[in-house]
Amino acid sequence: MTRTVRYVVFGLGATGIGLLGVFAILKIPAFGASSHPYRDASIPAAVKHATSNVISSINFDQRGLDTLGEESIFLASVLVISVILRPAGHETERRELSEGRPLDSTVLGGLVFLPIVLIIGLDVITHGHLTPGGGFQGGVILGTGIHLLYVAGTYRMFEKVRPVRPFEWTEAIAAGAFACLGISGVLVGASFLANVVPQGVFGDLFSAGTVPLLNGVVGVEVASGVVVLISKFLEQALTVRSDSGNPQGNGHTSRETKTPDGQHP
Amino acid sequence: MLSFDNATAMLAPIAVAIPIVMACVLLVAGRRLPRLAVDVVALATALAMVSLLAYLLVAAASGRIVTWAAGWTPHHGYSVGIVLVVDPLGAGIALLACSLTAIAFLFSVRYLDAVEAHYHCLMLLFLAGMVGLALTGDLFDMFVFFELMGAAAYGLTAIVVEDESALQGGINFGIVNSLGAYLSLTGLGLLFARTGSVGLPQLHTELAHHRPDALIVAAFVLVLTGFLVKGAMVPFHFWLADAHAVAPAPVCLLFSGVMVPLGIYAAFRIYWTVFAPVLPLGDVRRTFLVLGAVTAVLGAVMALSQRHFKRLLAYSTIAHVGLFLVALACLSVGGTAGALIYVAGHAGVKGALFLIAGVMLARYGSVDEYDLYGAGNGQKAMGVLLIIGALGLAGLPPFGTALGKALSEDAASAAGYGWVPVLFVAVSALTGGAVLRVAGRVYFALGPMPVERSPMRARGNEDEEPRLLHVPWTMIAPILVLLAGGLIVGLLPGAHSVANRAAATFIDSAGYSHQALYKLPEGIVAPTASNWTGVGLGLGFVSAVLACCVALAGLYGRRLAEKWPVLREAYGPLNLLHRLHSGHVGDYVAWMMMGLAVLAGFIGLPLR
Amino acid sequence: MSHYAYFVAGWLILIGAFGIMRSKNLIQSVVCLAVAQSGTYVLLLSIGYQWGGAPPLFGEPATKPNLHVVDPLVQAMTLTDIVVSATVTSMLLAIAIQIHKRHGTINPDELNAIRG
């Protein structure tokens, strides 16, 4: 189809659905209205299980099955990225990178902020049932925070500190642990993903039963998964080369190297 | 049997958790274990799931099994939790998913490089998504498991990264299906705004005393779009040919056999439980009759004019999906029962055909019909299997496809649509004939040697395996099992009454809602089930004979075209149709918008 | 004016789809997909909003649980949605990288390995 035809088809379609959309929006309950039946039911339910953060209660307690699906999506996506970005065909990973040195200020900034970011990440994960945050959010902070070491150092040094294989294992183990925690609910006689751990006092650190446990498990999974994900992209950009010695063009960072042997096609 | 709290009810969420746990186990252990051990573990998991879901199916036959996950049982008809409702149809389609996964694992043993067990993990996660989608009774949960299926599917399509067409197919698949899923989420938001719930039983109760207005129509169009994109209804179908042409054969088996029908299942589950009390029956029926017929005809015509065998099979899947839609669009017990049996028979037959395509690829390095002319001369047995599959696709009794067609035609004629049997016969004859033509060319060297053999082979994952000299039993046994399965569905004496009861339970949306929310027992009276009729048998044989004629015309047709130049007139529109399927993702999105507008027009305009 | 947020959401979804349709670069297409999904976040969060409502958290600072808060379910759904979006986007970007390596281009107009 030519571009013009494509625009015409899209335009007709968008006009049609847009008209319906406008009429539909005019019938939506007014913005900011106060009738929210689900909220009225879920807040007492969260209080009953001593969870101060109602959103975490919904995510891990009331609608935990959704979160099981969500963390499986995360696992599947990281798997897909590992599969897609693997060295394939006539490619291998080259290890001889000649990299420059980052600026001293960058090194200082990275090393100062690294422990701060890691502590923030751990705090967000462990207090997921009390404050905004939780496993997913804290996991992303942790997973990306570790890469301050890459920014503040060289890739080779970073690779020594961050071997990918253990992170793949922790991700898989944590993902499986979530499902196993759910099954353990069945084994003790309650329901799947039921909140069977003692729930403590509302507002305490040790409250809300299984919610902080699931938060922790998800935090480990997401942190490891993010590390694996970024590692695949970094490998693809920095180290994977075709056997003829040619870098097959993409993503040159400022510390990208020339081809290792100086070969030409 | 009321099953709110007992052990059987616990099995439904466990059925979703098991593949996830085993995928994680394989991910950790897969690098250490030899490939055979990984295959055995994956196959054992799939077989365990088969037995689990068979048990659930038998248990559900005497009544829906309702599980409120995490124990949030409803009070006064309201609950904050997620419900899993296992009815016979849902359990049946989940069982189909597990069986096909097991068969795919068996075929994959010698077929493709497993990338350190990642392939097996992705297949298990895909299975978890399918089982979750089939068993859940909550709309947002359906969205989540739908995305899980999608994530695994995009990866499985593009798994052979050395093949550039696999990557293009994968990204087209990914962008189009994800956009569809986000549109569904938009519709879900609109429903939540109106009703304050996202569970199917609660939505039913809330919407039952509303009049249809623009908001409900928009929610209907948007929510169904995502699932109909997966179900490859015209004009959301463009991604399917791309994805099936490039994905490995065992993955195509799952796609055509159960993933695409799951999209249709989800769409109609949502329609029956949420929208059937609100939207006028006639409008919805007309919408899906028309769109289903267009899908069927388009798929058949495109299939007939393909020379890439896997793409041909993909278009024939689209054609048969159109027929499922027409059967379901009768919005009756008979039509739904017919569609159910048709899906089961089609899964067996189409799966076997895709696996044979995989064998062709492994053996000869190509799936181009013209390039492979006469290539199969020494393997007549495989050619015979291909012919049997093609006749099954054409609806030869006693295949399950024929029984499904017979029941659907019966239901449609009873509803007053006399043109439906003609459509069914024509479409199945065309698609079956296309496959027969391929069998004739490749394995029996019938017809003149094609002159347009291209030096560039039709792309089809040439690197899946270096040329096989001897087809191992792990690749032949699945084909035989699938063909036998397709036959058994038609021959089994109780099949039609089981399907009938499953269909009646599926349609009974008030019962679904009341049983989930109030523990009320169901009182379903299924109408008497129709079985093989004389007309149905006759039409089945007619389709098979017509398919042979179509194949012969395809093989020897050059002389026909010379005798009747009017046939050449058809090439213009046909070329236009081929140009529309351009492989360009922008085109696909433009057609998706058009499809949204068409659906909106069909449902919204009569209600103005 | 009371429906402005919903129109913004609808506009984002449409403009995202428009971006995919007209794009000459697969990476732009994937990002436009993410834009379309942002529209769904805006829609969900707008539906759950209440004038003067507090966040549905009673931990820090510790407050007595009350019902004068915004709807927590849409927030939980948006959170799930964001995770799904991030993972799908990264997956599609990985495929785009490999396409660039194999085809030499990421312009959909120039990809012609499958058609017909």
Say whether both B236 and B309 belong to one domain. no
Cα nearest neighbour of C49 on chain B:
B193
pLDDT at residue B560, as a whole number: 67
The percent of residues in chain B predicted with pLDDT above 90, rounded, is: 55
Name the strand (E) or helix (H) holding B116.
none
Query: What distance in Å separates residue A54's CA from the closest CA in chain C?
Result: 6
Say whether both B324 and B384 belong to one domain. yes
Number of residue pairs across A and C with CB atoms under 8 Å?
157
CB < 8 Å to C48, chain A: 36, 39
pLDDT at residue C116, as a whole number: 66
The mean per-residue pLDDT over the stretch B507-530 comes to 80
The mean per-residue pLDDT over the stretch A139-165 comes to 89
Q: Is residue A13 part of a domain?
A: no
Name the average pLDDT for chain C.
Answer: 90
Residue A242 clears pLDDT 80, i.e. is over it: no
Stronger pLDDT, B125 or B76, i.e. the higher one: B125
C67 Cβ under 8 Å from any chain A Cβ: yes
Q: Is residue A147 part of a domain?
A: yes
Say whether both B440 and B544 belong to one domain. yes
B457-B462-B463 Cα angle (round to 5): 155
pLDDT at residue A100, as a whole number: 78
pLDDT at residue C114, as a whole number: 75
pLDDT at residue B461, as a whole number: 45
Of A10, A192, A195, the CB nearest to B13: A192
Q: Which of B274, B243, B392, B407 is nearest to B341 (CA)?
A: B407
Residue B454 clears pLDDT 80, i.e. is over it: no
Of A43, A53, A85, the CB nearest to C67: A43
Q: Which of A80, A81, C94, A179 is nearest to B119 (CA)?
A: A80
Q: Is residue A141 part of a domain?
A: yes
Provide the 8-state DSSP code for B470. S
Stronger pLDDT, B582 or A114, i.e. the higher one: A114
Name the average pLDDT for chain A.
Answer: 84
Confidence of residue B449 (pLDDT cuts 50, 70, 90): confident
Say whether both B446 and B327 belong to one domain. yes
Half-sphere exposure of B261 (CA within 13 A, CB side): 32
pLDDT at residue B460, as a whole number: 46
Residue C107 clears pLDDT 50, i.e. is over it: yes
Say whether both B445 and B300 belong to one domain. yes
Choice among B76-80, B226-230, B261-265, C11-15 with the minimum mean pLDDT: B76-80
Q: Which of B400, B404, B422, B425 is nearest to B413 (CA)?
A: B422
Query: What distance in Å separates residue A115's CA from the closest CA in chain C?
Result: 24
pLDDT at residue B385, as a whole number: 92
Choice among A33-42, A242-251, B448-457, C83-92 with the minimum mean pLDDT: A242-251
Number of domains into which chain B is organized = 3
Stronger pLDDT, C77 or B532, i.e. the higher one: C77
Q: Is residue B523 part of a domain?
A: no
The percent of residues in chain C predicted with pLDDT above 70, rounded, is: 97
pLDDT at residue B248, as a whole number: 92
A16 Cβ under 8 Å from any chain B Cβ: yes
Confidence of residue B426 (pLDDT cuts 50, 70, 90): very high
The mean per-residue pLDDT over the stretch B187-206 comes to 92
* Binary contact (C30, B175; C-beta < 8 A): yes
Of C13, C103, C108, the CB nearest to B584: C108
The mean per-residue pLDDT over the stretch B572-591 comes to 88
pLDDT at residue B453, as a whole number: 63
pLDDT at residue A125, as a whole number: 93
Both tokens of B2, joined, read 């009321």
Chain A interface mutation, best of B130, B131, B139, B148, highest count of A Cβ atoms under 10 Å: B148
> Could you read off the pLDDT of B287-302 as tens digits, one per residue?
999 999 999 999 999 9
* Binary contact (C98, B186; C-beta < 8 A): no
Q: Is residue B512 part of a domain?
A: no
CB < 8 Å to C51, chain A: 32, 34
Q: Which of B15, B130, B165, B129 is nearest to A77 (CA)?
A: B129
CB contacts under 8 A, A 122-181 vs C, are 127, 129-132, 134, 136
The mean per-residue pLDDT over the stretch B71-100 comes to 91
How many angstroms separate the CA atoms of A246 and B67, rounded?
Answer: 57
ipTM of predicted assembly, 2 dp: 0.95
Residues B7-45, buried b or exposed e (16+ Cβ, 10 A)? ebbbbbbbbbbbbbbbbbbbbbebeeeeeeebbebbbeb
Half-sphere exposure of A134 (CA within 13 A, CB side): 27
Q: Is residue A221 part of a domain?
A: yes
pLDDT at residue B352, as a whole number: 95
The mean per-residue pLDDT over the stretch B326-353 comes to 93
C35 Cβ under 8 Å from any chain B Cβ: no
3-state SS, residue B458? coil
Q: Which of B146, B601, C46 is nearest to A32 (CA)?
A: C46
The mean per-residue pLDDT over the stretch A142-171 comes to 89
C105-112: Cβ within 8 A, 24+ apart = C106/C25, C106/C26, C106/C27, C107/C24, C107/C25, C107/C26, C108/B584, C108/B585, C108/B586, C108/C23, C108/C24, C108/C26, C108/C29, C109/B584, C109/C24, C111/B168, C111/B583, C111/B584, C112/B583
The percent of residues in chain B predicted with pLDDT above 70, rounded, is: 95
pLDDT at residue B133, as a whole number: 96
3-state SS, residue C115? coil
> Could you read off the pLDDT of B459-511 as tens digits, one per residue?
444 444 456 778 888 889 999 999 999 999 888 888 888 888 899 989 988 88
For A78, B239, B252, B311, the CA distances from B246, given in Å and listed in that order, are 22, 11, 9, 8
Cα nearest neighbour of A43 on chain B:
B80
CB < 8 Å to A124, chain C: none
Choice among B186-190, B452-456, C57-61, C99-103 with the minimum mean pLDDT: B452-456
* Binary contact (A31, C55; C-beta < 8 A): no
Q: Which of B147, B146, B142 is nearest to B200 (CA)?
A: B142
The mean per-residue pLDDT over the stretch B252-271 comes to 95
Of B150, B192, B585, the CB nearest to C47: B192
pLDDT at residue B1, as a whole number: 33
Residue A264 clears pLDDT 70, i.e. is over it: no
Among candidate residues B115, B136, B157, the one where a domain is terminated? B136
Residue B429 clears pLDDT 90, i.e. is over it: yes
Q: Is residue A4 part of a domain?
A: no
Confidence of residue B456 (pLDDT cuts 50, 70, 90): very low
Stronger pLDDT, A263 or A206, i.e. the higher one: A206
Q: Per CATH, which fold does C1-50+70-96 belong to?
A: Helix Hairpins (1.10.287)
Q: Is residue A127 part of a domain?
A: yes
Contacts of A89 (CB under 8 A, 6+ apart): A242, B161, B162, B463
* Binary contact (C88, B150; C-beta < 8 A): yes
Confidence of residue B567 (pLDDT cuts 50, 70, 90): low
Chain C interface mutation, best of A26, A49, A58, A68, highest count of C Cβ atoms under 10 Å: A58
Q: Is residue A41 part of a domain?
A: no
Owner of token pair 């510390």:
A255
CB < 8 Å to B578, chain C: 115-116
For A48, A200, B14, C81, the CA distances from A128, given in Å and listed in that order, are 17, 15, 26, 18
CB contacts under 8 A, B 102-131 vs A, are 115, 118-119, 121-122, 125, 128-129
Task: Identify the domain containing residue A193 by its residue range.
Answer: 53-242
Number of residue pairs across A and B with CB atoms under 8 Å?
218
CB contacts under 8 A, B 226-265 vs C, are 241-242, 245-246
* Binary contact (B192, C74; C-beta < 8 A): yes
**Domain coordinates of chain C in residue numbers?**
1-50+70-96
**Rounded to two decimals, what is the model's pTM?**
0.93
Cα nearest neighbour of B581 on chain A:
A1
* Binary contact (C115, B581; C-beta < 8 A): yes
CB < 8 Å to C55, chain A: 132
The mean per-residue pLDDT over the stretch B566-578 comes to 78
Query: What distance in Å separates residue C87's CA from the closest CA in chain A?
Result: 6
The mean per-residue pLDDT over the stretch A200-223 comes to 85
Confidence of residue B586 (pLDDT cuts 50, 70, 90): very high
B16 Cβ under 8 Å from any chain A Cβ: yes
Confidence of residue A265 (pLDDT cuts 50, 70, 90): very low
Both tokens of B280, joined, read 């006028």
Chain C partners (3+ C-beta pairs within 8 A): A, B
pLDDT at residue C96, as a whole number: 94
Task: Identify the domain containing residue B387 by its residue range.
Answer: 285-451+474-485+531-563
Query: What distance in Å separates residue A104's CA from the closest CA in chain C?
Result: 32
Does residue B122 contact residue A80 with C-beta atoms inside 8 Å?
Answer: yes
Q: Is residue A222 part of a domain?
A: yes
Of C9, C13, C98, the CB nearest to B167: C98
Query: What distance in Å separates residue A244's CA from the closest CA in chain B?
Result: 16
Say whether both B266 and B301 belong to one domain. no
> Could you read off the pLDDT of B344-374 as tens digits, one per residue?
999 999 999 999 999 998 888 888 888 888 8
* Binary contact (A43, C94; C-beta < 8 A): no
CB contacts under 8 A, A 84-103 vs B, are 84, 86, 88-89
* Binary contact (B168, C113; C-beta < 8 A): yes
pLDDT at residue B561, as a whole number: 66
Number of domains into which chain A is organized = 1
Q: Is residue B434 part of a domain?
A: yes
The mean per-residue pLDDT over the stretch B504-530 comes to 81
Choice among A83-97, A226-240, B127-141, B203-217 with the minimum mean pLDDT: A83-97
Confidence of residue B450 (pLDDT cuts 50, 70, 90): confident
Stronger pLDDT, B401 or B522, i.e. the higher one: B401
Chain B partners (3+ C-beta pairs within 8 A): A, C
